[in-house]
């Protein structure tokens, strides 16, 4: 294997080289202004991922002969935004994909479709809000709860071949009219 040292200059040999931390003091769409040692320099963002720096971030900067580049983020609060013009596919053909977030997670889309053989939702609480909802269950639906309260603004209809209701204590029916039979 051949290597070339033509573009490499050891840091000790040239005092115009810099490799170290810098604090972001200004952000433009194309460059960052970073404070290094006792001066401020404009640096090109040269990361391998789409990071949006914020003022106060500590970055890893490199410079030679007045050209400054940010090549890493040592401590940051900015966003990393992956934006593609067309479809995006994440694939793990021999593994799984774990998404982990300390402060929460949101999905926004005009349409969401989930195809799976099994699904588990484990949560301490859940709240659902819909304008319209329909659920079709081919075989059985089993609901176990400590208590259930159902509030319906208009009609409440139940249709079944057979209805069996049991109570260990009392049963109350309250209405202006109760029709049996």
| pLDDT > 70? residue 164 | yes
Return the C-alpha torsion angle 27, 30, 31, 32, nearest 10. 20
- pTM, to two decimals: 0.61
Task: State how far the Cα of 27 lies from the Cα of 3, in Å rounded to an integer.
Answer: 37
**pLDDT at residue 3, rounded to an integer:** 40
What confidence tens digit (pLDDT) does each residue in 111-134 have? 999 999 999 999 999 999 999 999
Find out whether 45 and 81 touch, Cβ atoms under 8 Å: no
Task: State how far the Cα of 75 lies from the Cα of 148, in Å rounded to an integer.
Answer: 48
| pLDDT > 90? residue 62 | yes
List the one residue out of 74, 57, 53, 52 whose CA is nearest residue 23.
Answer: 57
What confidence tens digit (pLDDT) does each residue in 140-161 have? 999 999 999 999 999 999 999 9
Find out whether 73 and 60 touch, Cβ atoms under 8 Å: yes
Q: What is the DSSP letter of 2?
A: -
10 band by pLDDT with thresholds 50, 70 and 90: very low
Over residues 9-38, mean pLDDT: 81
CATH code, 11-80? 2.40.50.140
15 band by pLDDT with thresholds 50, 70 and 90: low
| pLDDT > 70? residue 11 | no
The percentage of the chain sitting over the pLDDT mark of 70, rounded to a whole number, equals: 92
Q: Are strands 39-45 and 67-75 parallel, antiparallel or unpaired?
A: parallel
Q: What residues does each domain of the chain span?
A: 11-80
Task: State how far the Cα of 86 lies from the Cα of 83, in Å rounded to an integer.
Answer: 9
Rounded to the nearest angstrom, the gap between the alpha carbon of residue 44 and the centroid of all alpha carbons in its chain is: 27
| pLDDT > 80? residue 5 | no
Cα four-point dihedral sign 45, 49, 55, 57: negative
DSSP string, 118-173: ------S------SS-----SS------S------SS------S------SS----
**pLDDT at residue 12, rounded to an integer:** 43
Give the residue, 16 or 106, on which the prediction is more confident: 106
Enumerate residues 6+ apart whose C-beta is below 8 A from 171. Answer: 165
Find out whether 80 and 50 touch, Cβ atoms under 8 Å: yes
């Amino acid at each position: 294997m051949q290597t070339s040292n033509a573009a490499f200059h050891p840091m000790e040999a040239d005092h115009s080289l810099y490799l170290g931390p810098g604090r972001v003091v200004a952000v433009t769409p194309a460059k960052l202004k970073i404070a290094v040692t006792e001066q401020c320099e404009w640096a090109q963002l040269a990361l391998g991922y789409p990071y949006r720096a914020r003022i106060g971030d500590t970055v890893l900067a490199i410079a030679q002969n007045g050209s400054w580049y940010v090549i890493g983020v040592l401590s940051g609060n900015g966003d990393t935004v992956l934006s593609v013009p067309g479809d995006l596919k994440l694939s793990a053909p021999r593994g799984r994909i774990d998404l982990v977030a300390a402060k929460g997670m949101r999905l926004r889309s005009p349409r969401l479709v989930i195809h799976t053989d099994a699904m588990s939702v484990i949560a301490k609480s859940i709240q659902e809000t819909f304008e319209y909802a329909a659920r079709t269950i081919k075989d059985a639906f089993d609901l176990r709860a400590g208590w259930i309260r159902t509030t319906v603004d208009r009609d409440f209809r139940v249709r079944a071949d057979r209805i069996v209701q049991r109570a260990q204590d009392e049963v109350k029916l309250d209405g202006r009219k109760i029709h049996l039979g």
